[in-house]
C-alpha cells in the first residue's frame, strides 16, 4: 500500500516520506520505517558524526590523564600545564560535540514523531466506516499518542546508548594495549551480563505489547465515560463504570507489575555485574602496580576505561525496555498504516461536476459484517430537485440508503448512480462535496459558533457565514449568546440546546450548498415547538435540491412531495402521503407507532398526535420561512 503525506506542511520543512513497504515476515520494524526516517538523514548524520567525535575524545581523555600522572606528577618529565591545557580543550570538545549530537538526534526523533502522527491522522481520515465499526476509539487514540511517544523515545535515546556501546569497543581496545590479562580479568563478568540481557529481552517484548493494549483499554473506557457523561449519570451507572475501569486498571496493573518484575529481576544484574569487574581490577591491578608491571597512570586509565565500559551496561536495561516497548508500539502503529481502506478512489475516477442531483438505486443489495441483507434488490429513483421521505420500521434499511449515497459503504450488488455515474467511478471528494447530511445527532466541534458553521468552508467570507445562520433561523439565538459568533460551544455543542445545535448544523450545510441533501431523522430528538422552528430552516435548505428525508414523524414527512415505504430492504409502496395513507395499511400502522410514545399525563394520546388521519395538505406550515441566503 502506498502511504504518502498528501501535502507538505506550510513552510515546507518536512519532506514527504516514501511509501512504507508491505510487511515481510521477520522484518525488523526499523527497516519498514526507513522511508519515514530517511528524510532526516542529514540530522542523523550530524548526530552520529558528533557522537563519534565525542566518543573519541572521551576515550582519549583517560589516556592523556594517565600520561600526565606518570610523566608530569610522578617522574616530572613534562610540565603539568601542557596536559592541563590539552585536557581543557578535550573537555570543551566533549561539551560541544555532546550538545550537538544530543540536539541532532533528539530533533530527528521529534521530527519522526511528527511525521508518524500526521501519517496516522491522515490514515484515520482515509479508513472506511467499516474499519471504525470494529475498532474502539480508545485503541486508536492510544496508538496515536502513547505508541508514537514510545517510538520517539527509543529513537531519541537508542542512538545515544548505541554510541556508548561503540565507546565500549574503543575502550576495550585501549585496555588491551595496556595489559591483556588485566583486561580479561576485568571482563570476566560480561558473559553473565550478556546472558541476563538476553533473558530480559526474551520476556520484555510480549509484556510490553500487553501493557500497550491494556493502556488502550483504559483510554477507551475513559473516553466513552467522558463523552457519554450524561448517559452514565442519567442511569446512575457511575458505580458500574468505575468497576469496569477498576477491572481494566487491575489488568494493566498485572501487566505493569510483570514488567517491573522482569526489570527488577534482570536489570540489577545487567547494571551491577560490571562493578564486580571494577573490584577485580583494583585487586589484580594493584598487585601489577606494586610489581611494576604497569604504572599508576596505566591503572588510572584502566579505571576510567572500566567506567566507560560500565556505562553502556548500566544503560542496557533501559535500552532493552525502551527497545521492546518501541517494537510493540511500532507494530501497533504499522497495523493501522497497513490497513487498506475499503472505500477509495478507483483508477480513472472522475470528478462530479455540475451536479444535477439525479439519484438512482439499481438492484442494490447490501449487508454489514453479519452477512444479513439489509437491502435486497432496492430500486429507487430520486429526481433532480425532488424531496422524498423514506419511511419504514426500525431496521428496514432507511439509514443504510442514506449511507450509500455519499459512499460511506459500497454496495454488495447493483449500483448507486448519480447523474448517470456509478458513485464508485466518482472521486470521493467531489462526490461528498455535492452531498450534504444533517443528522439527528448534530455533532459540533469544541470551537466557536462561527468555526462550526464554516467547518465545510473554512475560507468562507464572514457575510456568507452570517447569511447561512440567518437562513437557518439561528441568528436570533446566536446574537443572544455571551460572545455571539465567537462563543465557544463546548465539546459536542454541550452548551447549546438540541434545537440550537440542529440549526447550526443546518447553517453549516447551507454554507456548503450541496445539490443532494440527506436529512437523517434530524428532528426526532427535538420537541414539537423546536421542530416547528427548525422546519422553516429545513424548507430553506431543501429549496432547489434533491432531498432524501429519513423520517418517523408525520410533521417531517409533510416536508416531502413523495413518500417511499421501505420494508425488508425493498420498496413496499411509493406515492404521496395521502395515497399511502389511503391504500397501504402498513404505512398508517407505522405512523401510529411513531406517534404513540407521546402520551399525555393520563396516558391518552393528545389530539395533535392523531395526525395519521390528516391529509398532508392540512398540516400546519411555517409562514415565516426565510427566503434564502441574502
Domain ranges of the chain: 29-337, 357-434+562-619
Lowest mean pLDDT of 216-230, 417-431, 518-532, name the range: 518-532
pLDDT recorded at residue 427: 92
Quick one: which of 300, 301, 297 has its CA closest to 77? 297
Helices (H), 338-436: 398-404, 428-433
Q: Do 581 and 587 touch, CB atoms closer than 8 A?
A: yes
DSSP state of 358: -
First-last CA distance in the chain:
47
Please report the pLDDT score of residue 235 as a whole number: 65
Residue 322 has pLDDT above 80, yes or no: no
In angstroms, the CA 603 to CA 588 distance is: 21
- Binning pLDDT at 50, 70 and 90, where does residue 93 land? very high
**Which DSSP letter does residue 523 get?**
T
Cell numbers representing residue 322 in the block = 525502551
**Chain segment 361-375, per-residue pLDDT in tens:** 999 999 887 777 888
Specify the CATH architecture of the domain 29-337. Answer: Up-down Bundle (1.20)
The yes-or-no verdict on residue 607 having pLDDT over 80 is: no
Give the per-residue pLDDT at 415. 92
CA distance 420 to 318: 62
How are strands ordered across the β-sheet holding 421-422? 373-382, 359-367, 413-418, 421-422
C-beta neighbour count of 27 within 10 angstroms: 11
- Residue indicated by cell numbers 583486561: 183
Q: Report the percentage of the chain scoring pLDDT > 90.
A: 9
Quick one: pLDDT band at residue 595, thresholds 50, 70, 90? Answer: low
- The tens digit of pLDDT for each residue in 108-117 reads 888 888 888 8
CA gap 541, 470 in Å, rounded: 12
Q: Of 143, 137, 142, 144, whose CA–CA distance to 117 is shortest?
A: 144
Identify the DSSP state of 147.
Answer: I
CATH superfamily of 357-434+562-619: P-loop containing nucleotide triphosphate hydrolases (3.40.50.300)
Quick count: other Cβ atoms within 10 Å of Cβ 82?
12
Query: For residue range 215-232, what is the model confidence (pLDDT) as tens digits?
Result: 777 877 887 777 666 567
DSSP track, 376-397: EEEEEEE-TT-EEEEEE-TTSS
pLDDT at 95: 93
12: pLDDT strictly greater than 80: no
Question: Which residue, 348, 351, 366, 273, is CA-closest to 317?
Answer: 273
Amino acid at each position: 500500500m502506498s502511504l504518502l503525506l498528501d501535502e507538505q506542511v506550510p513552510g515546507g520543512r518536512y519532506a514527504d516520506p516514501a511509501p512504507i513497504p508491505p510487511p515481510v515476515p521477520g522484518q525488523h520494524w526499523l527497516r519498514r520505517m526507513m522511508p519515514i526516517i530517511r528524510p532526516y538523514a542529514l540530522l542523523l548524520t550530524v548526530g552520529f558524526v558528533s557522537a563519534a567525535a565525542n566518543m573519541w575524545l572521551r576515550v582519549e581523555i583517560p589516556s592523556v590523564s594517565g600520561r600526565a600522572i606518570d610523566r608530569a606528577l610522578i617522574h616530572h618529565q613534562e610540565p603539568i600545564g601542557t596536559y592541563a591545557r590539552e585536557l581543557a580543550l578535550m573537555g570543551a570538545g566533549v561539551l560541544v560535540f555532546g550538545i550537538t549530537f544530543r540536539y541532532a538526534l533528539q530533533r530527528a526523533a521529534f521530527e519522526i514523531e511528527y511525521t508518524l502522527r500526521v501519517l496516522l491522522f491522515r490514515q484515520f481520515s482515509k479508513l472506511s466506516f467499516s474499519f471504525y465499526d470494529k475498532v474502539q476509539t480508545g485503541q486508536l487514540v492510544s496508538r496515536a499518542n502513547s505508541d508514537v511517544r514510545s517510538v520517539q523515545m527509543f529513537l531519541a535515546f537508542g542512538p545515544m546508548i548505541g554510541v556508548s556501546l561503540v565507546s565500549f569497543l574503543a575502550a576495550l581496545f585501549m585496555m588491551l594495549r595496556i595489559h591483556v590479562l588485566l583486561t580479561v580479568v576485568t571482563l570476566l563478568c560480561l558473559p553473565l551480563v550478556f546472558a541476563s540481557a538476553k533473558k530480559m529481552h526474551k520476556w520484555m517484548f510480549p509484556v510490553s505489547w500487553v501493557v500497550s493494549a491494556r493502556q488502550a483499554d483504559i483510554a477507551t473506557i475513559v473516553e466513552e465515560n467522558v463523552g457519554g457523561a450524561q448517559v452514565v449519570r442519567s442511569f446512575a451507572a457511575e458505580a458500574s463504570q468505575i468497576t469496569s475501569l477498576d477491572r481494566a486498571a487491575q489488568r494493566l496493573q498485572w501487566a505493569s507489575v510483570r514488567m517491573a518484575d522482569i526489570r527488577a529481576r534482570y536489570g540489577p544484574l545487567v547494571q551491577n555485574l560490571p562493578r564486580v569487574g571494577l573490584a577485580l581490577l583494583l585487586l589484580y591491578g594493584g598487585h601489577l602496580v606494586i610489581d611494576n608491571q604497569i604504572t599508576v597512570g596505566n591503572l588510572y586509565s584502566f579505571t576510567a576505561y572500566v567506567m566507560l565500559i560500565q556505562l553502556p551496561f548500566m544503560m542496557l536495561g533501559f535500552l532493552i525496555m525502551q527497545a521492546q516497548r518501541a517494537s510493540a508500539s511500532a507494530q501497533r502503529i504499522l497495523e493501522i498504516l497497513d490497513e487498506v481502506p475499503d472505500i477509495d478512489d478507483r483508477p480513472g475516477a472522475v470528478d462530479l461536476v455540475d451536479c444535477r442531483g439525479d439519484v438512482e438505486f439499481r438492484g442494490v443489495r447490501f449487508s454489514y459484517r453479519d452477512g444479513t441483507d439489509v437491502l435486497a434488490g432496492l430500486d429507487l429513483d430520486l429526481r433532480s430537485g425532488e424531496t422524498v421521505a423514506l419511511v419504514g420500521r426500525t431496521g428496514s434499511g432507511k439509514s443504510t440508503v442514506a449511507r450509500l449515497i455519499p459512499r460511506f459503504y459500497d454496495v454488495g450488488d447493483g449500483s448507486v448512480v448519480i447523474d448517470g455515474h456509478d458513485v464508485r467511478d466518482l472521486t470521493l471528494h467531489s462526490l461528498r462535496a455535492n452531498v450534504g447530511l444533517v443528522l439527528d445527532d448534530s455533532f459540533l466541534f469544541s470551537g466557536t459558533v462561527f468555526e462550526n458553521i464554516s467547518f465545510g468552508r473554512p475560507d468562507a467570507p464572514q457575510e456568507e457565514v452570517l447569511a447561512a445562520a440567518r437562513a437557518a433561523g439561528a441568528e436570533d439565538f446566536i446574537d443572544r449568546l455571551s460572545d455571539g459568533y465567537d462563543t465557544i460551544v463546548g465539546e459536542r455543542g454541550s452548551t447549546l440546546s438540541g434545537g440550537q445545535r440542529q440549526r447550526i448544523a443546518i447553517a453549516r450545510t447551507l454554507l456548503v450548498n450541496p445539490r443532494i441533501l440527506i436529512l437523517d431523522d434530524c428532528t426526532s430528538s427535538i420537541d414539537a415547538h423546536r421542530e416547528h422552528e427548525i422546519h422553516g430552516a429545513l424548507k430553506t435548505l431543501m429549496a432547489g435540491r434533491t432531498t432524501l428525508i429519513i423520517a418517523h414523524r408525520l410533521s417531517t414527512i409533510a416536508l416531502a412531495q413523495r413518500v417511499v415505504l421501505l420494508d425488508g430492504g425493498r420498496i413496499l409502496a411509493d406515492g404521496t402521503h395521502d395515497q399511502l395513507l389511503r391504500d397501504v395499511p402498513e404505512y398508517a400502522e407505522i405512523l401510529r407507532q411513531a406517534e404513540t410514545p407521546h402520551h399525555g399525563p393520563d396516558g391518552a394520546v393528545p389530539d395533535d398526535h392523531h395526525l395519521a388521519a390528516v391529509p398532508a395538505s392540512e398540516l400546519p406550515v411555517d409562514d415565516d420561512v426565510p427566503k434564502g441566503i441574502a
